[in-house]
Amino acid sequence: MNFFANPFMPTQARPSGGQENLAVSVSEAMTTLMDPFGFGRAAFDYWRDSVERSVLYLDVMRERGNQYLAHMEQTKPSVLGFETEVLVDGRTLPQPTNYELLRVIPPEGVETDPLSRPFVVVDPRAGHGPGIGGFKPDSELGVALRAGHPCYFIGFLPFPEPGQTVEDVVESEVAFLRHIIERHPETTEKPMVVGNCQAGWQVMMAAALEPDVFGPILIAGAPLSYWAGEHGKAPMRYTGGMAGGSWVTAMTSDLGNGLFDGAWLVQNFERLNPANTYWKKQYNLFANVDTEANRYLEFERWWGGHVVLGGEEIQYIVDNLFIGNRLSTAQLVTRDGRRIDLRNVRSPVVVFCSRGDDITPPPQALGWIRDLYDDEKDIIANEQTIVYCQHDTTGHLGIFVSSSVSRKEHTEFTANMDYIDVMPPGLFETTITHVDEHDQGELIERDYLLEFTPRNFDELDREVMHEPEDDRRFATVARISEINLGLYRIFMQPWLQAVMTPEAARWIRRMHPIRLGYKLLSDRNPMSVPLPVMAEQIRQDRHPVGKDNLFKAFETMTSDQIVTGLNAMRDARDSATERLFMDIYGQPLLQAAVGLYGDAHVHRRRPGDEPEHRRFLEQRQNELREKIEQGGAHEAVMRAVIYVLGGAPATDERNFKRLRASRAALEPSTKLSDFKHLVREQFFILKLDREQALSSLPTLLKGQSNAEIDAHLTHLEDVLSASGELSEHAASRFAQVSELFSQARPAVKAVESSPDTPQQPPAKASQAPAKATQETPAKATQKAPAKATQKAPAAKSNASTKKPTASRRKPPTKG
């Protein structure tokens, strides 16, 4: 039966056959006479549509509740969209944890190469269950699988093992990576590891302790510097101070009988954006219930998959990271005495963050670089490569969930992992541009191109926006947190631990408002019994209205006003919280009471170098000095490429592709690890003594024939032109390199003459007469960078070079 039939045309009186059109015309005419402006019809259509949408909306919420209950009843709940097999169960390790190493089975039609670099995704354990890094085809795992990489996933179970600590989790991840390396003995490259959100700092801790098991590291939306943040845009960093420290965390764990309910963390995230939590997300489903149901349920399956953390784990995280900020200042020490110093990470680190992220804003994602190093030269001295990429708009979850981000940013990171792995040490920013903005299309295999630009700390400071005055405030919070935690443990904790039982803790978890919201709208509620029947009937005879309906437009406008009002309330709340925090913890009297007032105290000390590290650097420099004149043509070419590109404002994957392809042609057995070693060694030699490194190029090329030197110069031109036209500074460097290569040419034999003819000294190759020119292939026909060909053709004489010869008579200078 149709409950929403046209009231002007009753169902039982509706004509059939040829009379129907006439009856409808009469009905429309009558309706027009009764409602000439159409307000009544629009109102009725909107009323009918809104009633139908309400029923369908409630039915979707019922399905959400059923989905939640079924998900939480699983032994190993996960939202992974790919089939997997368990390789290592963390519960079987010497220090048991609730983590697992899974091998991702490629879907049908997708093939992976076992010789390719393994790809590992580590999911965040911040209140939700595992699987978000691969819960749909366009995800981090989906991108890597399509690229042909063997993929692995590190997930976790809903409940921790008894006595499990953060250090145990870190050691488990190291054990998992060792197992992956053992599974790929023929692959010399170490696994690329992706750490999302909270998993990012876990991965960095593991890489600092065991750097040899990591390849390139991508940390997406991962907070590492918790005191950092821009005023007015980082509300979460004030949470610990406004709560009086970490005693609240300890109390919550005690109420859980030693377990911390992750639903409290999810609630903190939801409070950041009340407009989205309480209205926008739900209204979007209501307004588009015919098309949004599946997408909504897919996301809610992960968002509602709450897990539990151990009380000792969460206390360590809050005390040492959120409030203490000890990770980014190398103050963490393991129980066996090892210092966790992120400067020990030897793998390239890619930091992916977003300006639209209110949970991990760019200052918190990048501030650790400023905390650890004095400048970009300090990064180079520690042989580290740090690349950062900033998205303009996406939110926190979009960094590792959004399909558009996966198809663009994550696809480029995955495709360029080998290039990132061989990049020289330093600080770089990467940008992703569409291929339409570039030429050299034969070297670009995808729709986007990843470009790398060297950065200095002045440019980094504009992103970090460090405020020294804030450091003292957050240090005061850390001291007060320690005091309040101590008082709680003396006066309140014994009483709570005495009265709490496992049954009471489970009841409190079940009654959490977020968990309860899922259960109340499910089939376990008797009031929901008629919903599926009504929803199915409506789907069979749906009457949606368009956006041109007057009342539907009023509905949209009202929704926008509600969102604007909630956003205004949020902004007022965040602004008041920030002012209150600054006023309370900026009080000199309070700072003095906890021993922090005065300029004599430095609260964000940069960790100094250990004596052993200084001796290592000195030994390394001595070794490099001995290698300046050691090697051959490969070392000379690589040194020249690094020197010329060092004068370019940016570089991209095209240079790497040509350089690696040409090297593979010359030495087919060359491994990527050897190639990386060659690049880094020549980079450090140039940094150590540029003048001697350049002046020794003819020595490295000694014994090469004219044809071989010409081939090297052709190769250089081909590589350097891959990214387009050279800058004026880079072209000048190329001219300098061309001259040095020409100095290595074999001396021209003197022409036989009579005793009366005076003997001339051998001419340099660049000044050779016609006879020497005949022995050498003409360089004028070679393809060269646009500016370089005008300023320094490789084998032409100085007379034909526009670069002044006076500059070539000087020895190579620094800078």
- Map 688-725 to HEC letters: HCHHHHHHCHHHHCCCCCHHHHHHHHHHHHHHHHHHCC
Considering the domain architecture, whether residues 30 and 103 belong to the same structural domain is answered as no
Considering the domain architecture, whether residues 91 and 217 belong to the same structural domain is answered as yes
- In this prediction, residue 149 carries a pLDDT of 94
- In this prediction, residue 190 carries a pLDDT of 92
Contact 200, 219 (CB under 8 A): yes
Average pLDDT over residues 271-300: 94
CA diameter of the chain: 130
Average pLDDT over residues 149-169: 96
Considering the domain architecture, whether residues 160 and 12 belong to the same structural domain is answered as no
Q: What angle do CA 319, 324, 328 make, to 5 degrees?
A: 120
Residue that is last in its domain, among 433, 466, 499: 466
Q: Tell me whether residue 661 is in a domain.
A: yes
pLDDT category at 530 given cuts 50, 70, 90 is: very high
* Per-residue pLDDT reduced to its tens digit, 182-219: 999 988 889 999 999 999 999 999 999 999 999 999 99
- In this prediction, residue 782 carries a pLDDT of 39
Tell me which of 25 and 78 has the higher pLDDT: 78
Contacts of 513 by beta carbon, 8 Å cutoff, 6+ apart: 267
Give the CATH number for residue 133: 3.40.50.1820
Q: Tell me whether residue 101 is in a domain.
A: yes
- In this prediction, residue 429 carries a pLDDT of 93
Torsion over CA: 218, 224, 229, 235 (sign) = positive
Considering the domain architecture, whether residues 15 and 121 belong to the same structural domain is answered as no
Instruction: Compute the distance between CA of residue 190 and CA of residue 183 in angstroms, rounded to an integer.
Output: 12
Q: How many residues does the chain have?
A: 815
Considering the domain architecture, whether residues 140 and 205 belong to the same structural domain is answered as yes
Residue 754 gets which letter from DSSP? -
Average pLDDT over residues 542-554: 92
- In this prediction, residue 789 carries a pLDDT of 39
Considering the domain architecture, whether residues 27 and 123 belong to the same structural domain is answered as no
Average pLDDT over residues 249-276: 95
* Coil, strand or helix at 119: strand
- In this prediction, residue 666 carries a pLDDT of 53
- In this prediction, residue 711 carries a pLDDT of 86
Residue that is last in its domain, among 450, 466, 482: 466
Instruction: Compute the distance between CA of residue 506 and CA of residue 502 in angstroms, rounded to an integer.
Output: 6
The 3-state DSSP composition of the chain as helix, strand, coil percent (nearest 5) reads: 55, 10, 35
- In this prediction, residue 660 carries a pLDDT of 66
Read off the pTM. 0.82
Tell me which of 19 and 232 has the higher pLDDT: 232
Considering the domain architecture, whether residues 359 and 462 belong to the same structural domain is answered as yes
Q: Which tokens go with 552?
A: 């539907």
Instruction: Compute the distance between CA of residue 532 and CA of residue 523 in angstroms, rounded to an integer.
Output: 10
pLDDT category at 734 given cuts 50, 70, 90 is: confident
Instruction: Compute the distance between CA of residue 158 and CA of residue 672 in angstroms, rounded to an integer.
Output: 40
Instruction: Compute the distance between CA of residue 582 and CA of residue 448 in angstroms, rounded to an integer.
Output: 44
pLDDT category at 667 given cuts 50, 70, 90 is: low
Least confident range of 171-180, 206-215, 600-609, 804-813? 804-813
Contacts of 301 by beta carbon, 8 Å cutoff, 6+ apart: 67, 68, 71, 79
- Beta pairing partners, 390: 353
pLDDT at residue 30 is higher than 80: no
- In this prediction, residue 163 carries a pLDDT of 92
pLDDT category at 424 given cuts 50, 70, 90 is: confident
- In this prediction, residue 769 carries a pLDDT of 36
Q: Which tokens go with 462?
A: 């504009």
Q: Tell me whether residue 57 is in a domain.
A: no
State the average pLDDT for the chain: 83
Beta-sheet strands, E only, within 396-477: 426-434, 448-454
- In this prediction, residue 764 carries a pLDDT of 39
Least confident range of 140-144, 300-304, 623-627? 623-627
How many C-beta atoms lie closer than 10 Å to residue 94's C-beta? 8
How many C-beta atoms lie closer than 10 Å to residue 491's C-beta? 9
Q: Which tokens go with 254?
A: 């005690």
- In this prediction, residue 619 carries a pLDDT of 78
How many C-beta atoms lie closer than 10 Å to residue 93's C-beta? 16
Domain extent for 804: 611-747+771-809
pLDDT at residue 737 is higher than 80: yes
Average pLDDT over residues 488-515: 95
Strands 385-391 and 259-261: unpaired
Alpha-carbon separation of residue 804 from 2, 204, 741, 797, 811 (angstroms): 91, 50, 18, 12, 14
% of the chain beyond a pLDDT of 70: 81
- In this prediction, residue 167 carries a pLDDT of 96
Tell me which of 212 and 790 has the higher pLDDT: 212
Residue 128 gets which letter from DSSP? B
Instruction: Compute the distance between CA of residue 812 and CA of residue 736 in angstroms, rounded to an integer.
Output: 8
Q: How many CA atoms lie within 13 A of 522 on its CB side?
A: 14
Residue 451: name the closest of 369, 387, 524 by CA: 387
Residue that is last in its domain, among 425, 449, 466: 466
Considering the domain architecture, whether residues 117 and 28 belong to the same structural domain is answered as no
Tell me which of 713 and 669 has the higher pLDDT: 713
Q: Which tokens go with 693?
A: 């490194």
Considering the domain architecture, whether residues 662 and 793 belong to the same structural domain is answered as yes
Residue 245 gets which letter from DSSP? S
pLDDT category at 179 given cuts 50, 70, 90 is: very high
Considering the domain architecture, whether residues 20 and 145 belong to the same structural domain is answered as no
Considering the domain architecture, whether residues 24 and 152 belong to the same structural domain is answered as no
Residue 652 gets which letter from DSSP? E
Using CB atoms within 10 Å of the CB of residue 435, give its burial: 0 to 12 exposed, 13 to 18 middle, 19+ buried: middle
- In this prediction, residue 749 carries a pLDDT of 53
Q: Tell me whether residue 303 is in a domain.
A: no
% of the chain beyond a pLDDT of 90: 51
pLDDT category at 797 given cuts 50, 70, 90 is: very low
Considering the domain architecture, whether residues 615 and 739 belong to the same structural domain is answered as yes
Instruction: Compute the distance between CA of residue 32 and CA of residue 38 in angstroms, rounded to an integer.
Output: 7
Q: Tell me whether residue 697 is in a domain.
A: yes
Contact 130, 80 (CB under 8 A): yes
Q: Tell me whether residue 492 is in a domain.
A: no
* Per-residue pLDDT reduced to its tens digit, 308-334: 999 999 999 999 999 999 999 899 999
Q: Tell me whether residue 155 is in a domain.
A: yes
How many structural domains does the chain have? 3
- Beta pairing partners, 429: 388, 453
Q: How does DSSP assign 296-352, residue by residue?
A: HHHHHHHHT-B-EEEHHHHHHHIIIIIIT--TTTT--B-TTS-B--GGG--S-EEEE
Contact 383, 252 (CB under 8 A): no
Looking at residue 594, its amino acid is V
* Per-residue pLDDT reduced to its tens digit, 55-69: 999 999 999 999 999
The secondary structure element, H or E, covering residue 87 is strand 84-89
- Map 546-568 to HEC letters: CCCCHHHHHHHHHHHHHHHHHHH
- In this prediction, residue 220 carries a pLDDT of 94
pLDDT at residue 798 is higher than 50: no
Q: Tell me whether residue 16 is in a domain.
A: yes
Instruction: Compute the distance between CA of residue 573 and CA of residue 248 in angstroms, rounded to an integer.
Output: 21
